[in-house]
Chains A and B, each alone.
Chain A
Amino acid sequence: AQRVTQPEKLLSVFKGAPVELKCNYSYSGSPELFWYVQYSRQRLQLLLRHISRESIKGFTADLNKGETSFHLKKPFAQEEDSAMYYCALRTRNAGNMLTFGGGTRLMVKP
């Protein structure tokens, strides 16, 4: 069965510092990986997906199949980046369901 692990429940950085939110997955095939973000009092929304290979709000994530990781990175954190971040995986053999990690709360201090 597929599994997503986000080892850090809380990550606290200062404004302007680099950020890396870790995500590891277990699945032997070719998964689709996503990052979702939930800002305070807002709904969960898609931040980026690996197949798009895009940068959203300065965030990027690269799928590393060798290390089975999909870490989210931003070179200079902003206070407005403070939120809950969830890594999620979708696999062809599991239909459309998303398997989520436990989430990481990012706090960016001024």
Chain B
Amino acid sequence: NAGVMQNPRHLVRRRGQEARLRCSPMKGHSHVYWYRQLPEEGLKFMVYLQKENIIDESGMPKERFSAEFPKEGPSILRIQQVVRGDSAAYFCASSVGADTQYFGPGTRLTVL
């Protein structure tokens, strides 16, 4: 089992562009979580998804951010019209039900 995969590992965007971050959960895991880590801070919850459903998006900014976890393929975190404040490490985790969350290596987004 390769573990949770995230790509790209590093992403550079200019202000106003779109960023797409991908997360492939561990085999057999149907629950996916996205967390954001700003510099010098801990991880902050963004969104919790199951296949084709958003379960909890209480941590998502109201505008420009969206997430999906389609029936087939990876979960996508999409950030439209990026701004410098979006620069952060974005971590994905997956689990079987409400069990232990296993984390991916993260995507480091830099907005120029």
Residues of A near any B CB (own CB < 8 A):
4, 6, 36, 43-46, 49, 86, 94-103
Taking a contact as CB atoms closer than 8 A, the residue among A46, A97, A101 that contacts B42 in the complex is A101
Question: In the complex, are the beta carbons of B91 and A44 less than 8 A apart?
Answer: yes
Q: Using a Cβ cutoff of 8 Å, how many contacts connect chains A and B?
A: 53
Cross-chain contact B42 with A96 (CB below 8 angstroms): no
Q: A94 to B42, alpha carbons, bound, how many Å?
A: 18
Query: Contact at A96–B48, with CB atoms within 8 Å?
Result: yes
- Report yes or no: B103 in contact with A95, Cβ–Cβ below 8 A: no
Quick check: is B73 within 8 A (CB to CB) of the other chain?
A: no
User: Bound state CA distance, A43 and B98, in angstroms?
Assistant: 20
Which B residues are in CB contact (< 8 Å) with A102? 40-42
Question: Is the Cβ of A86 less than 8 Å from the Cβ of B33?
Answer: no
Chain A residues with CB under 8 A of B101: 46, 96, 98
| Known contacts A102-B41, A102-B42; A96 and B91 CB within 8 A of each other | no
Sample of 25 A–B contacts (CB below 8 Å): A4-B42, A6-B42, A43-B4, A43-B103, A43-B104, A43-B105, A43-B106, A44-B103, A45-B102, A86-B42, A86-B43, A95-B55, A95-B56, A96-B31, A96-B55, A96-B56, A96-B95, A96-B101, A97-B45, A97-B58, A98-B101, A100-B35, A102-B41, A102-B42, A103-B42
Question: What 18 new A-B contacts, CB under 8 Å, besides A94-B56, A98-B33?
Answer: A43-B4, A43-B103, A43-B105, A43-B106, A45-B102, A46-B101, A49-B100, A86-B42, A86-B43, A95-B56, A97-B33, A97-B45, A97-B56, A98-B43, A100-B35, A101-B42, A102-B41, A102-B42
Q: Do residues A100 and B31 form an inter-chain contact, with CB atoms below 8 A?
A: no
Can you list the 5 inter-chain pairs with the closest CB atoms, starting with the nearest?
A: A100-B42, A44-B103, A97-B45, A102-B42, A100-B43
Q: How far, in Å, is A105 (CB) from chain B's closest CB?
A: 11
Complex Cα distance, B31 from A82, in Å, reads 31
